[in-house]
Structure 1
Amino acid sequence: MDPPAEHDLAGSTAQRVRGVLAIPAFRRLWGVTAITAVAEWQSLLALSALATQLTSGYQAQSFALGGVVATKLLPAMLLGPLAGALADKLDRRHVMVVCDVLRAGLFLSIPLVGQLAWLFAATFLIEICALFWIPAKDASIPNLLRRPDQVETANQLSLIMTYGLAVLVASGVFSALSKLGPVLRQAGLIHSAEGSAYLALSINGFAYAFCALVVGTRIPEISGRAVSMRDAQPGLLTMLRDGVMFVRGTPLVRGLVTGILGAFAAGGAVIACAKLYSTSLGGGDAAYGLLFASLFVGLGLGMAVAPLAARRIRHRGLFGLAIVAAGLALIAVALAPHLIAALAAVILVGCAGGVAFLTGLTIIGAQVADEMRGRTIAFVQSLVRLDLLASMALVPFAVGLVQQRTLTLFSERVTIDGTRPVLLCAGLLASAVGLVAYRQMDDRADGSLLADLRSA
């Protein structure tokens, strides 16, 4: 693309963004989306930190961490289609206000009760509320816009906020609260080691209450319900069955799915191990927040770098190479001796995952037939959720089973944290899966991995 064309494209993008944000109702809803996205990511950090603080013993902390992650992901797997269908029958503004009020109360109740069992129960109920809130919010966006062609820009703004800026803000706020914890205890503002996590959850509660007030009083345009019932969505098992049949007969998609499973399993392992891994590096909750943010910073960098790499390597080869790179970077994470090296390695894991994610979507858009593209994307998305659920829930349990080991090396006693061998195995597995995906997707008779690496 020549420089004038690039300038016109940038100008056009900026004009589209300004045009959408100039709509008062959408601007307010986007602000609400930003607040709830920050609260959602901060809740993952605070709840996982609190679960380990309310338990004692390395194995118990590992199991508690896996339980939090599984509790957050399980409602979407079980009740997602049902919640979406019910949300269509109800007034959207009422749904959003009620869900925000309920989430506010549930978040504020966790510090008041202070028990691990209620933490799990409240987390499950909070996620059920999110299942109703999200489709109501998404369905209301087209009604707030002036033209149908603004929907894509509006959705892009929501995605950038939810999976970009919100992650960084939530990680920064949680790290700052964790650092300030000792100071706040000395000042008498909090009274226990769990005080920083309780404070973060309380901030979430007030944030959701504020969002309920804004939606209820400042965005009346959201009110409404679906004019006609949307087509019945296939269940998860039906979608997986149809997807497996298509994947088995298509080598390209089979390699793509194999690679995606490896990439998201590696990313899920990093997220699931981050709390205990940060402790092994001598850090605390602040280091946990930094590791969490680093993964998503790398993800964004990878999506930015992917188009440049695709100029030198075919998409089919680039996808497999990115998975292999993610696995090798995860091995570096397992061997990192201190926090700075760990942060750099985690950024590399995210970067490789970002390249693989964007490249995979490009392959689906360009290589899969139009009549199969929608169900292929839906199948991949469902598989990604299952993969993340399995990885983020099972990895902490594996860490708990491995536990800490003390070895004698060169007459020195060395303590090996349980996260290190688990991350090492996950890195080796991801690299192997990447190689398998590369071979399945490469349709060249003389395809060479080393040649593609030299091109890169």
Structure 2
Amino acid sequence: MWGGHISEAARGTQNADTRDERAAAADPTARDASGDAQAARQVNAGASAHHEMSTTRRARSVLGIRPFRRLWAVTYLCSVADWLAMLGLTGLVTKYTDDYLLQNFAFVGVVLTQLLPGLLFAPLGGLLADRFDRRKVMICADLARFALLFSIPIVGSPIWLFVANFMAGSAAMMWIPSKDAAVPNLLRRPDQVETANQLGLFMTYGLAVVSGAGLYSVLTGVQTTLGISPDAFGEFGIANAVVFINALLYLASAILIATRIPELSLRNVHPVPESTAASRDAAASDDEAAEDQVGFIAMVRQSFSYIRRTKLVRGLLIGMMGAFAAGGAVIGAAKPYSSSLGGGDASFGLLFVAVFVGAATGLAMVPKLARRLPHDRLFGVGIVLAGMALIVVALSPHLAVSLVAAAAVGACAGAGFLTGVTIIGSQIDDAMRGRINAIYQSLLKIIIFGSTAMVPVLIGLVQPHKVTVWGNELIIDGTRPVLLGGGLLAALVGVIAYRQMDSRRTEPILADLRNIMRRRPRRMNGLLIALEGTAATDTGTQAGRLADALRTGERDVVLATDPALDDERLQGIVSGASLSSARAQALAAAAVRADIVERDIRPALDSGAIVVMERFVDSPLAHLAAVAGLDSSELEGLADWATARLRPDLAVLLDTDPAAGDAEGGANGTSAGPQHWRVQQLLTEMASADPQHYVVVDADGSPDEVAGRIHTAVQCALAGKVPGLSKRGRPKTDRDSGAPADDTAGPRDGETEDTGPRDGDTREAGERATQGTAP
């Protein structure tokens, strides 16, 4: 552990080597998996601004996962094929007829026949994703799209072109839910879902659009560029070649999925923690009927039952329905609204750019915002702010104001959309994820399609009026009340979604919003209590007892780490690197402490929990200064860097007679002598220098007596300052637990025992930091 045990780490080298050899023999991939997990741990929420992993590093971390990287490449192929199909089929259908009206309908017809299956068959795709092997579903869908598109040039009929395009769109509705539901199972940790979704959106609506349009331009311009005679390929030669290439991209996708990504068949790799409402309701659904034993009708019934019982999902869908309706109002009213500003087509283009630039900004900002605001709160806040910005757009008297407000609408809507997709991927049980994702995508298409179609009708019911605002003539037409209504609807639905989804009802939302606006994030309502003492003091046992006593209150309580297991980690580092000098060992100990802070402590504090930690900083500093003879100021600088200047809200110093440590050290054959006296003196000086954050407790006596004193001291020090702290109760004693005095209480019902990191364990260690359960 960071401090207090460097000498023990050196003595434990041989045991650590033996343990590592056994672990490597049992699992040859454990070392690589563990290293990958440790390399990416800084993605965890709660890091300070200068500790946050950059977007590039997070993307590289996710793309370093081979199955996901291959799926990302497959998604690129299919997305390029989708955009190429839209352009290529439009070009082909215009060559099938000379009728001017039909040629003008070509693009609209292609787009509608691609979108219509999403209105009809998206829920069916979710059922297939949850019922059958997702990899096989994706392979069959790609092969179907290949066959359908390959047949279009062969048949040569405009009617078959639209029919085949419709059927290919239906196959896409089978492919997308399976892909989206499989993504979380390819990642190492649930917190990577957000970055994976960002990469997917960037691929689908960024890189693939440019690639598809560029490929179409190259293929259609080859004759002109190379000076080839138009008769060389025939009337339909180039157009047919574009569609054939389009079909081959789907075939390549099917081959890659079948041969290179077997991991798509995995299920429930990252189970949703049982403490979440979504997980409990999923378990209830499983109790109703096993999915492999029910038919499609029963699965549909089960899905709606799950939505009805789960506030998280219900709030998510309600919020997105309002957001999508407002989005449809913006799409349908954009052109006439730009005319009301007096800017014509130029203002329409600027508004279009502003919305999409804002959306891109919102998508990029979500990971940083999520470090300061939980996803369930971020979703509701994003929808509400999007509605309020849309109200500003409706009331705007000038183009400049409209551009800023439109960009804000795009940013909030983009953040809300990505947050919703992330919630589905990380907080919805794998058994229900495909159906919820399909419903989410289906609602997007249905509501946007319906609201976009209704908006022109509503606009036409209001006669335009001219008014003068600040010397500028402004046209008040039907677009203003439509946008105003859309903004009010989005804000209202966002509030409803927030109240449905919020998991931190006791914590004020204004504090979280103020934290977002700060340049350096402030800790979110958490509380860090440190137990400090000499090496002879059993701070580990007392930390566990204090955590058990505090769990009688309303706040979640987290015992940050198991000291013995962290000592083993330090021993492994020291022995593996053959570190012998005190400075080198201090750096290794600081690395272990920095990992604990990033992995366990900060995420727990950001979730509003009370974190109890033994020998956090001051005890290690005193020990290293006294035992290793290192400079105190240098050690303080190292501690500040390792913990990002995180300090306890309350430090409890266990004041014990160092003579007892001398006797214990002599009995165990370890050196003690004046070192314990020096450590105790340094700790006492630290407590005297900071009386506002320190309480000193007499640690002489039985463990039960000491635990009672600690609990009383903590209650007195924090009385009236910390809401939700236990007001009654006492630490669990040996008589209560029936365990020896040096054993901490075991996990309660609904808790997960904190066993510390294990070799080869690639699960998110931060999940263990939320093990405390509020009664």
Question: Could you state the TM-score of these two structures normalised by the residue count of structure 2?
Answer: 0.40
Which of residues 149, 153, 157 is equivalent to 1:104? 149
* Residues 66 and 394, structure 1, Cα contact 8 Å, conserved in 2: no
CA RMSD of aligned residues (A): 6.3
Q: 1:72 to 1:398 in 2, by over 3 A?
A: same
Distance in 2 of aligned mates of 1:48 and 1:275: 24
2:202 corresponds to 1:164: yes
- Which structure would you say has the larger RCO, counting Cα contacts within 8 Å and 6 or more residues apart? 1
* Residues 20 and 154, structure 1, Cα contact 8 Å, conserved in 2: no
Structure 1 portions without partners, runs of 5+:
190-198
* Deviation of 1:431 (Å): 0.9
* Deviation of 1:71 (Å): 3.8
* Deviation of 1:297 (Å): 1.1
- The 5-angstrom pairing of residues 295-444 of structure 1 reads 296-310=359-373, 318-334=378-394, 345-357=405-417, 373=429, 380-402=436-458, 404=460, 407-410=464-467, 414=475, 416=477, 421-439=481-499
2:256 corresponds to 1:212: no
Structure 2 portions without partners, runs of 5+:
1-46, 95-99, 229-237, 268-290, 518-775
* Residues 255 and 441, structure 1, Cα contact 8 Å, conserved in 2: yes
* Residues 319 and 383, structure 2, Cα contact 8 Å, conserved in 1: yes
* Residues 74 and 257, structure 2, Cα contact 8 Å, conserved in 1: no
Distance in 1 of aligned mates of 2:178 and 2:497: 38
The one-letter amino acid paired with 1:282 is D
Higher helix share: 1
Distance in 2 of aligned mates of 1:420 and 1:47: 37
The one-letter amino acid paired with 2:364 is L
Q: 1:201 to 1:359 in 2, by over 3 A?
A: farther
Question: Could you state the TM-score of these two structures normalised by the residue count of structure 1?
Answer: 0.62
Which of residues 125, 128, 136 is equivalent to 2:170? 128
Match of 2:292 in 1: 231
Q: Report how many residues are paired.
A: 422
* Deviation of 1:303 (Å): 1.6
The one-letter amino acid paired with 2:203 is L
Further displaced range: 79-88 or 347-356: 79-88
1:37 match: secondary structure: helix
Distance in 1 of aligned mates of 2:214 and 2:196: 25
1:231 match: secondary structure: helix
* Residues 84 and 131, structure 1, Cα contact 8 Å, conserved in 2: no
* Residues 150 and 244, structure 2, Cα contact 8 Å, conserved in 1: yes
Distance in 1 of aligned mates of 2:351 and 2:211: 12
Q: 1:309 to 1:225 in 2, by over 3 A?
A: closer
Match of 1:77 in 2: 123
Distance in 2 of aligned mates of 1:207 and 1:420: 43
Deviations 1:24-55 (A, max 9, x none): xx86664332021244357679999999x968
Deviations 1:126-163 (A, max 9, x none): 12222455578789999xx9xx8769899888744431
Q: 1:393 to 1:85 in 2, by over 3 A?
A: same
Distance in 1 of aligned mates of 2:136 and 2:64: 31
Distance in 1 of aligned mates of 2:363 and 2:127: 30
Deviations 1:417-450 (A, max 9, x none): x66644432222001222334455667579576x
The one-letter amino acid paired with 1:300 is L
Distance in 1 of aligned mates of 2:178 and 2:506: 50
Further displaced range: 62-71 or 349-358: 62-71
Deviations 1:283-341 (A, max 9, x none): 6998898578546414413423422542xxx6665443322111123334556789987
Distance in 1 of aligned mates of 2:402 and 2:329: 14
Q: 1:355 to 1:213 in 2, by over 3 A?
A: closer
Deviations 1:48-103 (A, max 9, x none): 9999x96899xxx999987864444322234553587677796975x366334235
* Residues 66 and 397, structure 1, Cα contact 8 Å, conserved in 2: no
Distance in 2 of aligned mates of 1:82 and 1:275: 39
Distance in 1 of aligned mates of 2:264 and 2:315: 41
* Deviation of 1:237 (Å): 3.4
* Deviation of 1:241 (Å): 2.7
Match of 2:78 in 1: 36
1:304 match: secondary structure: helix
Q: 1:334 to 1:126 in 2, by over 3 A?
A: farther
Distance in 2 of aligned mates of 1:273 and 1:260: 20
Distance in 1 of aligned mates of 2:188 and 2:507: 46
Further displaced range: 216-225 or 329-338: 216-225
Distance in 1 of aligned mates of 2:500 and 2:74: 44
Match of 1:262 in 2: 322
* Residues 41 and 170, structure 1, Cα contact 8 Å, conserved in 2: yes
Q: 1:132 to 1:5 in 2, by over 3 A?
A: same
Larger Rg: 2
2:305 corresponds to 1:242: yes
Which of residues 11, 17, 42 is equivalent to 2:63? 17
Match of 2:542 in 1: none
